Amino acid sequence: MAQQFDTLIIGSGLAGLTLALQLADQKKICLVSKREVSDSASSWAQGGIAAVLNHDDSIDAHIKDTLMAGAGLCNKDMTRMVIEHGREAVQWLIDLGVEFTREADDSKYHLTREGGHSHRRVIHAADATGKAVQNTLGQKVRAHPNITILENHIAVDLITTTKLNKTKKNKCLGAYVLDIASGKVITIGAQQTTLATGGAGKVYLYTTNPDISTGDGIAMAWRAGCRVSNMEFVQFHPTCLFHPHAKSFLISEIVRGEGGLLKLPDGTRFMPQHDERAELASRDIVARAIDFEMKRLGLDCVYLDITHKSPTFIKEHFPTIHKRCLELGIDITTSPIPVVPAAHYSCGGVMTDNKGQTDIENLYAIGETACTGLHGANRLASNSLLECLVLGRAAAAHILKAKTHAMPDLPYWDESRVTDADEEVLITHTWNELRRFMWNYVGIVRTDKRLSRAMHRIHMLRDEVHEFYSNFRVSNNLIELRNLLQVSELIVKSAMARQESRGLHYSKDYPELLPEAKPTILEPGANYSLLDNKHGH
Ligand SMILES: Cc1cc2nc3c(=O)[nH]c(=O)nc-3n(C[C@H](O)[C@H](O)[C@H](O)COP(=O)(O)OP(=O)(O)OC[C@H]3O[C@@H](n4cnc5c(N)ncnc54)[C@H](O)[C@@H]3O)c2cc1C
């Protein structure tokens, strides 16, 4: 028998936890998370949550800043809706007990100002906002009797009426989920299913994202028949530590802000040649300049040098960075820091409306997995956690009003034609190959030639992974690889479709901005459909 719930939520980051808590008093929830509940990009968020919380600030100013960053591609209604609901969403977190940092005199919450924001409006919990929010919400979710949590369970694919040949109108009925420990795939049926699976940074060799960010929700939704949008807009953080044992450690912008200089291995500065603001140019420009120098000289990394400041200054201003680098054998008071740009945020995703509804009835997508149109062609800092909160709450309100529908019997996962994989190296090799060519060909600066090379390789790997998926029992790594490959194809396809440079998408072949801003919308169809499900039905 399939396990039945009112609502299935796939993902336990801020989006998934918000939705779960909003629904749990009235619905039986199944919350599936492929690692532990706390293992998410949300936990890693440092800066904070943008919202209009100060008298000097205004909704219109926040909207204006968001639209400016989005380079003509933000959906204006969605932007207004998210920003207008910011204050109440933050208040909900405060009511749940999240302890945000207060002013020194304790009179009010301390708000920081980040790049692109015209006002102080980022509420935070020191430099570990995500952890504070995730811990508080995680505890509430664990304590709620109506929430069944399945940790170390990874969703493989959605179950829909179209896949079951039940109706022409596509409706979501639940999902197949792999219990990673036992290797068994279970069937979960639900009135509504929500994808809250986060971003897809692991498509790239270098990323600030945690290992869970493999674009699973985007790939599952696409395979099930949803449109995806704006996948070419991947935000790169300019400076991530380059070290074999330091996965995804961010070297914050404040190091450049306090005088850090970017240098080539021979000690030459290069930023002044790229922008008159040199190291203080905007994130995209710095990331693009580093990428240019690395490709020009065939470098593995460049260096961020702060050694001209006194050791006391460095330790006082960057205690975490100093400590972490020292653990890895780099004393930043005497040596420059090896850095590379790294994929940070996916602006595109599953197309949804302002309630998180996708193209498939009873299927929702919220958080970084979704493309609501808020971020347009470039995300304004700290608007992403805000979006998780507001859309999590909006989806909950919609689900609570939905009528109950009859559920058909759901088929089991069919393993009769598959065997255990004999060589895991095939998966790890393909994974490494994919992430490397995505980095080199579909990274910060793109050309038609690089994109078509990437697409060619994706098609070759697709055939190999398809064969593997059809013949062997599914594993966590295979599921993630299959999804990464799918998402890579969607990114390349979208990048090829955009013949201009806008926001985060920069093409050497089309450096100009077209007069009209249009989103890239991919419609599922025979040509794009990658790696059909052989197991389920
Ligand atoms: C280092 C860093 C710093 C950041 N700082 C900020 C900031 O200061 N402010 C801001 O607004 N944004 C920030 N961001 C971006 C922000 O953290 C993310 O956009 C946001 O947390 C995404 O939340 P989410 O709930 O959509 O996904 P996530 O928090 O990534 O959660 C995804 C969840 O889905 C689960 N999952 C994924 N696939 C499956 C599957 N197949 N089956 C089961 N479970 C699955 C994962 O295990 C995880 O629980 C930062 C990001 C990073 C990486």
Tell me what pLDDT residue 536 has: 46
CA–CA dist 261, 333 (Å, integer): 13
Please compute the mean of the pLDDT values over residues 174-203 and round it to a whole number.
Answer: 97
Band of the pLDDT at 203, cuts 50, 70, 90?
Answer: very high
Please compute the mean of the pLDDT values over residues 80-108 and round it to a whole number.
Answer: 95
Please compute the mean of the pLDDT values over residues 106-135 and round it to a whole number.
Answer: 89
Q: Which of 157-161, 249-253, 531-535 has the lowest mean pLDDT?
A: 531-535
Q: Is 482 in the pocket of ligand 1 (CB under 6 A)?
A: no
- Judge whether residue 191 has pLDDT over 90: yes
Please compute the mean of the pLDDT values over residues 486-501 and round it to a whole number.
Answer: 98
Please compute the mean of the pLDDT values over residues 348-354 and round it to a whole number.
Answer: 98
Q: What percent of the chain has pLDDT over 90?
A: 80
**Residue 187 in 3-state DSSP?**
strand
Please tell me which of 34-48, 155-169, 237-251 the model is most confident about, judged by mean pLDDT: 34-48
- Judge whether residue 246 has pLDDT over 70: yes
- Judge whether residue 494 has pLDDT over 70: yes
- Judge whether residue 167 has pLDDT over 50: yes
Strand partners, 9: 31, 194
Tell me what pLDDT residue 532 has: 44
- Judge whether residue 535 has pLDDT over 60: no
Q: Is 33 in the pocket of ligand 1 (CB under 6 A)?
A: yes
CA–CA dist 72, 95 (Å, integer): 36
Q: Do you know the residue count of the chain?
A: 537
Ligand 1 centre distance from Cα of residue 389 (Å): 12
pLDDT, tens only, 506-528: 999 999 999 999 999 999 974 44
User: Is 87 one of the annotated active-site residues of the chain?
Assistant: no
Tell me what pLDDT residue 266 has: 97
Residue 423, burial from CB neighbour count under 10 angstroms (0-12, 13-18, 19+): exposed
Ligand 1 centre distance from Cα of residue 183 (Å): 25
In which element (H, E) is residue 308 found?
A: none
CA–CA dist 442, 456 (Å, integer): 13
Does residue 356 contact residue 391 with C-beta atoms inside 8 Å?
yes
Closest among 198, 200, 185 to 533, alpha carbons compared:
185
Band of the pLDDT at 196, cuts 50, 70, 90?
Answer: very high
- Which of the listed residues 38, 188, 197, 220 should we mutate to test ligand 1's pocket, taking the one with most ligand atoms within 8 A of CB? 197
- Judge whether residue 166 has pLDDT over 80: no
- Judge whether residue 537 has pLDDT over 80: no
- Judge whether residue 250 has pLDDT over 90: no
pLDDT, tens only, 368-420: 999 999 999 999 989 999 999 999 999 999 999 999 999 999 999 988 778 88
At 365, list the tokens. 């997508």
Q: Is 389 in the pocket of ligand 1 (CB under 6 A)?
A: no
Q: Is 196 in the pocket of ligand 1 (CB under 6 A)?
A: yes
- Among candidate residues 223, 283, 324, 393, the one labeled active-site is 283
Tell me what pLDDT residue 414 has: 84
CA–CA dist 233, 261 (Å, integer): 27
Atom of ligand 1 nearest to the CA of 370: 26
Please compute the mean of the pLDDT values over residues 467-473 and round it to a whole number.
Answer: 88
- Judge whether residue 319 has pLDDT over 90: no
Ligand 1 centre distance from Cα of residue 368 (Å): 7
**Residue 150 in 3-state DSSP?**
strand
Tell me what pLDDT residue 210 has: 94
- Judge whether residue 442 has pLDDT over 60: yes
CA–CA dist 8, 509 (Å, integer): 44
Count Cα atoms within 13 angstroms, Cβ side, for 279.
19
Closest among 209, 124, 154 to 382, alpha carbons compared:
124
Q: What average pLDDT is seen over the chain?
A: 93
Please compute the mean of the pLDDT values over residues 280-301 and round it to a whole number.
Answer: 90
- Which of the listed residues 32, 34, 478 should we mutate to test ligand 1's pocket, taking the one with most ligand atoms within 8 A of CB? 34
pLDDT, tens only, 127-148: 789 999 999 999 999 999 999 9
Tell me what pLDDT residue 61 has: 97
Tell me what pLDDT residue 525 has: 75
Count Cα atoms within 13 angstroms, Cβ side, for 363.
31
Q: Is 441 in the pocket of ligand 1 (CB under 6 A)?
A: no
Closest among 426, 370, 315 to 13, alpha carbons compared:
370
CB atoms within 10 A of CB 261: 20
In which element (H, E) is residue 151 found?
A: strand 147-151
Q: What percent of the chain has pLDDT over 70?
A: 97
Closest among 405, 492, 484 to 455, alpha carbons compared:
492
- pLDDT top residue among 111 and 257: 111
Write the CA distances from 337 to 261, 265, 292, 391, integer angstroms. 10, 11, 19, 38
Please compute the mean of the pLDDT values over residues 88-95 and round it to a whole number.
Answer: 98
Q: Which of 17-21, 81-85, 422-426, 525-529 has the lowest mean pLDDT?
A: 525-529
